[in-house]
Amino acid sequence: MSLLRLRAVLRGPGGLRGPGIAWRIFRSYSSASTKEKANRNVPCERTELLEVLKARAKQLQGSSGPEVTVSKVEVAALDNDKFQEAVVPGPKEKQPIPRAQGDGLAQSSTWAKKMQKEMYSQQPKMKQELGSAASQLALEAKGEATPKTKTTKSPKVPKTKAAPAWTQSSGSPHNKPRAVEVKGAAELKRPQKMPKDTSNQQVLQQTIQANLECFLFLQQAEEAERYLLLCHSSPVKRKVMDVGAFNIVMRIWARKGSLNRLERLFSILEAAGLQPNLDSYATALECAGRTQSPAKAVLRYLQQLNSSGFHVDELFQKCLFEEDEKEKVLFAIRTVQPNYQLPPPPSPKISKSSLLQDFYSRETMGAYPKLDFSVQELRERFQQQLHMELKNTVTIESVEAAKPLTPQAIKARELLGTLRSQWRDAILQALQNSKRSMARPKRMSKYNVLYPYLCLLPDEEYVDIMLQILNDLSPQGESLAVLARELGSKVYDRYIIQRKLRSGQLEKVQQIYESYIQLLAKDSQPKQYLPREYWEKLVAEAGFGPSLNLKSCTWPCVLLMRLGMHMLELLVKAVKVPRNILNRRLESKPIPVLYHVYSFYSNWQVGLIRPHPIFSQLVSNAAETTLTFNSSAMPMLCPPVPWTSPTFGAFVLSDTKLMRFMDDTTHHQLLLEQCPLVNLHPVLDALNQLGNCAWKINQPVLDIIISIFNDKGDEKLDIPPPLSEAPKPPTPPGNSSTWSKSFKHEVFLCKKKAAEMHSLRMDALYKLSIANYVRDKVFWFPHNMDFRGRTYPCPPYFNHLGNDVTRAILLFAEGRPLGPKGLDWLKIHLINLTGLKKKNALQERLEYANEIMEDILDSADNPLTGRKWWMDTDEPWQALACCMEIAKASRSPDPAAYISHFPVHQDGSCNGLQHYAALGRDLSGAASVNLVPCGLPQDVYSAVAQQVEEFRKKDAERGLKIAQVLQGFISRKVVKQTVMTVVYGVTRYGGRLQIEKRLKEIDEFPEEYLWEASHYLVKQVFNSIKEMFSATRDIQNWLTESAKLIAQSGRTVEWVTPLGLPIIQPYYRSRSTVLNCGMQRLSVKTPNSSQKPDTVKQKNAFPPNFIHSLDSTHMMLTALHCLRKGLTFVSVHDCYWTHALTVDVMNQVCRQQFVALHSEKILQDLSEFMLEKYCSSSSSSTEPIAHWQKRLKEQLSNVPSTGEFNLKQVMDSTYFFS
């Protein structure tokens, strides 16, 4: 089955992801909820807006009209009436959903008139903004455009294949709509005009660097130098150029061995007022070594290096090298100093964190745990992983039941095969023609600057990328901006891999990994190293060869969008299908497979790319049974490369960032790079520990799930049914003009339900197909984290953070005997999964499990034909898996010796409130969230509901009407969500909506009192929490007010976790730039170093983000100390997993680390850090800032006082985590 039908759900970083490509937070895969929302918005809620969808005239082939024109798209009269819908409105008919036979056209309605009116009204403003954007970006050859400039030509254009600079048309109306706002990389706000002096300097600097990096990769020295000098001659560009740009060009000449050209650049560099840095001298010495220059020349550079305040040893300690550069530098130095030796690697630094002194102590360090694999087996697995990553994509079989191969399907597959072969040739020809056009000297066009980016990969790889996008496109289409970004990002990812191959990095990684597996293999000697430490040791011992970190290379969003738009235009123009391919009675005329249309989101017009219904029908008929994923979307087949820095770790080749980020925000990366690496060691080691957990598939459970998936699914069991089970729309009465409002609403609801079902079905298909692909394999999930330090597996579809279905089919690859209490823990875990005995003691849960042993065994033996007890639980699939494990263990000759691979979970009890109660030493709050020992688990939600009920009774006695109406309706369920989210910053407005939703679910509650009742209850819930958690509210208010004052002073909120991880909140006032592309204009967000913080978001998000950073710190501490105890440990945020044998040990470690964490002066340390950062006298001396500093200093100094709760009581609290 093709991915065409799967586009509506999670796609294949951002990951979170290539470096600097922030849009792809999860390595370019969006979340299921996001895609579900997209599905609802595009195919459903906007159904009635189809009348305004417009295809560009003649399918983007030579149209030069200055406005959006209405033209037809060829629609063949398909045999299936389902596909008879016209795709573009025409001039004759008037109907909400136009339909046409053959060449019939439909007329647009008032929406189209509104669209046209907005285009004309916005034109003057758009011209001005486009001119401004072009000027600010300095995209012309000399960088001095005016708002009226249409094209920019330089009289001295160098005769080079690539244009020397951005030559963007800024105001021409040709080949594009007049004024169409498009959703950029997930943003629909109006673009703001930015001040000329500060805006987009970062984008321009990144663009210059990226262009020069391209020339370096292509070894085009003359072109690179001409481009550098042209930039240097432009006042706008000279302002943003630094020594790094000169170094890139010098590296090209160094590789060619041209010392004269390099020395000339040194002179220009110094004449420009820039000082050479270490990289400059390393490049000069490399060139001298490559050409075997006389000692006199080398000595001159060494003397200059010393006079600049550097030492020769720093060249090898701080510079990054590729290929044989390091050896050439050393050769040059030895012509002057024959006995010079490389400086010894620095002695490993040990983290000074007081929380980890014992962990990093060599005296207490044991051997690192071994995997159940030999050295040879791990080598083979590494080669399999490397092979997968080198191919970039993985094609696997779908688990969806294969339909009988009908003659229609066979014919459709043959047709598709023929067409794809033709399309490949057509796209390749179009790409080559485009490149030839760009390469012509003296022929300037707005896309000339893209030429080097189209030469980075073999032409066939660009074609593969475009065909993959075509195959992945859903029948509903996709936002043009999203497709453009994804195309650009895929090129970037492959380019980075090519750089790693070219630089020799892969060979070095292979060499080091071969030795690294000695740490993990069962047939090697035990070693007292952590994975990071051992990898660093091996790198230091390797000495020569390339560095494992690439020199920085970030492509700005604007560049990615331009490249993607160009590829998308080629795709739209090149890919055609015969009009009569499904109906031979029609004329054999080629028509485009893709067309460009517009839809409305509120008042904004959004560009979409949609496939022609003929193509969709053909793919549907073919019923293909394969799925294609990016290799980074799959679990790893070997242990991950350990994280050793913010830019190195996880996959072998695929680029992954340590910290996921969003919206092109680079502040996190800068913060991590500036942080001393030793401070990041605890976080890196924790991520490595989580990633080194090996997994396997629970095959019996997977097979049962797949059988139900292919048998119409089961919504109760969270197995989404196929679209064939979707509700059928009612039969329309007459023509659409007579449809009633209620009938239209009913049709809309049916379509909405169908889209939601499609989204969920495809999400499940992805997960189950990947699980089935690795069913006989052992695999690993490399981890990274978000900006708060919360950890996530990098593969986005299938991992242990998934739903009940996904978790049920995962087992630890390592098995351990149950031991004396393991079977009891399995039984308690099963009852926890049912949700039946939440308020009972652990012993009572165990006794209950023993009482229903007959049901448990029946569930294990006859899951689909027996009494099906497991189906009536909170987590049915995990419960079934646990039933099967209990059955196997209890039937074994010696249950204590039974080898179990099953993960047992221990959950925190309202973990956010636990951290607040511990921070404030809040006695009553601590008791409510199980920080205090108690015979029975305390339920904070029930306690709040009880408190609210007491308030209600008092108000009812005083005669308050709404309090009387609410009698009997206040329950744990009504208040739970609001109580849970208070700790994460929910407002009274949000809380009221939550409670209203719960009250709506109660059939007996009078609907006319919903608003008043929810308003009353949210007030009482907040009052109850304030009374029960007084210290919590004080701390939350202190955090909120502090963040507000910091943001109002123009700064972002930053802090450092107790483990040393620096954190910055990425909330800024959004600014957009209008990007003038061929098909349409795009409004995209551009990062800026002078972005002002979003005060409201900074203020509201600080308390929950701070608490999230604490819960991630607690998890990491637990992970590291579990490692020292020899435990297998993974987590889903505040849910900790281990073997049944080691639950008691993990519980002890978990409590010890919580007490240790909160024994630190967390709030006091936060106050001191912020006072130093925001209120020190060196920050600024202007009067307004001093006023802010005074207010902020008072606020930060007033740390909330703490209560009398004794933290050590947590050690004896059974239900703290249970």
Ramachandran bin of 631, using left for φ above 0, alpha for ψ from -120 to 50, beta for the remaining angles = alpha
Q: Residue 1144 catalytic?
A: no
Identify the pLDDT of residue 662: 67
Q: What is the rounded CA–CA span in Å between residue 373 and residue 521?
A: 6
Q: Is pLDDT at 709 greater than 70 in this prediction?
A: yes
829 pLDDT band, cuts 50/70/90, is very high
Residue 972 neighbours by CB distance under 10 Å? 16
State the average pLDDT for the chain.
81
Beta carbons of 688 and 49 less than 8 angstroms apart = no
Identify the pLDDT of residue 979: 86
Q: Is pLDDT at 751 greater than 90 in this prediction?
A: no
Mean pLDDT of 449-475: 92
Cα–Cα distances (Å) from 2 to 124, 414, 470, 593, 795, in that order, read 45, 14, 10, 16, 21
Using the 8-state DSSP alphabet, how is residue 453 labeled?
G
Q: Residue 604: which H helix or E strand, with range?
A: strand 604-611
The share of the chain scoring above pLDDT 90, in percent, equals: 49
Q: Which tokens sit at 770? A: 């990947």
Identify the pLDDT of residue 181: 35
Q: Which tokens sit at 1078? A: 């061929």
In terms of Cα–Cα distance, which of 1199, 1193, 1043, 1217 is closest to 1145? 1217
Among 163-177, 728-742, 1164-1178, the minimum mean pLDDT is found in 163-177
Helix spans in 610-676 (H): 613-622, 667-674
From the candidates 142, 837, 976, 1044, which is the catalytic residue? 976
Q: Of the segments 660-664, 986-990, 1137-1141, which one has the largest average pLDDT value?
A: 1137-1141
Q: What are the tens digits of pLDDT across the range 189-219? A: 333 333 343 446 778 888 899 999 999 999 9
Token look-up 């918005």 returns 41
Q: What is the rounded CA–CA span in Å between residue 593 and residue 571?
A: 9
Q: What are the tens digits of pLDDT across the range 468-512? A: 999 988 888 888 999 999 999 999 999 999 999 999 999 999 999
Token look-up 């009988």 returns 404
The distance of Cα 230 from the centroid of its chain, to the nearest Å, equals: 37
In terms of Cα–Cα distance, which of 471, 434, 440, 441 is closest to 455? 434
Token look-up 């793919």 returns 619
Among 482-496, 593-607, 698-712, 954-968, the minimum mean pLDDT is found in 593-607
Identify the pLDDT of residue 664: 62
Q: Which tokens sit at 100? A: 């046409």
Q: Is pLDDT at 730 greater than 90 in this prediction?
A: no
Q: Which residues contact 387 (CB under 8 A, 6 or more apart)?
A: none
In terms of Cα–Cα distance, which of 250, 181, 326, 366 is closest to 1124? 366
Instruction: Give the 3-state secondary structure of residue 1138.
Output: strand
Among 23-32, 389-398, 751-760, 1182-1191, the minimum mean pLDDT is found in 23-32
The letter for the amino acid at 185 is A
Q: Residue 1134 catalytic?
A: yes
In terms of Cα–Cα distance, which of 938, 945, 939, 1006 is closest to 970? 945
Q: What is the rounded CA–CA span in Å between residue 286 and residue 254?
A: 6
Q: What are the tens digits of pLDDT across the range 27-74? A: 333 333 333 334 434 433 333 333 333 343 333 333 333 333 333 334
Among 192-196, 656-660, 764-768, 810-814, the minimum mean pLDDT is found in 192-196
Beta bridge partners, 89, equal: 106
149 pLDDT band, cuts 50/70/90, is very low
Q: Of the segments 409-418, 788-797, 1063-1072, which one has the largest average pLDDT value?
A: 788-797
Q: Which residues contact 14 (CB under 8 A, 6 or more apart)?
A: 21, 22, 23, 24, 25, 26, 27, 28, 29, 657, 660, 661, 662
Max CA distance (Å), the chain? 100
Q: Is pLDDT at 643 greater than 70 in this prediction?
A: yes
From the candidates 324, 855, 907, 955, which is the catalytic residue? 907
Instruction: Give phi and psi for 649, each to the nearest 5.
Output: 150, 175
Q: Tell me the torsion sign for CA atoms 884, 886, 889, 891.
A: negative
Q: What are the tens digits of pLDDT across the range 891-927? A: 999 999 999 999 999 998 888 889 999 999 988 889 8
Q: Which tokens sit at 881? A: 């898996």
Q: Of the segments 102-116, 824-838, 1167-1181, which one has the largest average pLDDT value?
A: 824-838
Q: Of the segments 434-443, 734-743, 746-755, 763-772, which one has the largest average pLDDT value?
A: 763-772
Q: What is the rounded CA–CA span in Å between residue 794 and residue 791?
A: 9
Q: Which tokens sit at 177? A: 């709509």
Q: Residue 150 catalytic?
A: no
Q: Is pLDDT at 263 greater than 80 in this prediction?
A: yes
Beta carbons of 1034 and 920 less than 8 angstroms apart = yes
Q: What is the rounded CA–CA span in Å between residue 260 and residue 373?
A: 55
Beta carbons of 59 and 592 less than 8 angstroms apart = yes
- Residues in the chain, overall count: 1218
Q: Which tokens sit at 448? A: 């000339």
